[in-house]
Amino acid sequence: MALAPLFVMPMVLFGGLMANNKAQFDWLSWIQYISPMKYCAEAILYNEFMYDKYNVRETLTDTIDYNLGLGPCLLVLIALFFAFRTLAFLFFWRLSTKA
């Protein structure tokens, strides 16, 4: 429980919620691609402004640097879900066979 913020806070910070993705350091920009927060926020943004007639979505996506779309975000979230589940299974399996 004490180590959870070490993994969660970078995901929140580099997911585009606290800072603009364009304004991040180049050597830390890779964190945004493994952050589920980025894909959730982008999917919610596209879902909320799907039928927008005032072009708010284009303004927000340009400002925050979200450019994937709803479908790819959902596919990446599903892929991340299975990837993290597989990693957890492998680590627990390794721990159980070690003893």
pLDDT tens, residue by residue, 83-94:
999 999 999 999
Phi-psi region of 19 (alpha: psi -120 to 50; beta: other; left: phi over 0): beta
Lookup result for tokens 């585009």: 16
Question: Which pTM value belongs to this model?
Answer: 0.81
Lookup result for tokens 């589920």: 36
Of 10, 7, 36, 32, which Cα lies nearest the Cα of 21? Answer: 32
pLDDT tens, residue by residue, 9-68:
888 888 877 777 777 788 888 888 889 999 999 999 999 998 988 888 888 888 888 889
Question: What distance in Å separates the CA atoms of residue 6 and residue 4, rounded to the nearest whole number?
Answer: 5
The domains of the chain are located at 4-98
Of 93, 84, 78, 48, which Cα lies nearest the Cα of 66? Answer: 48
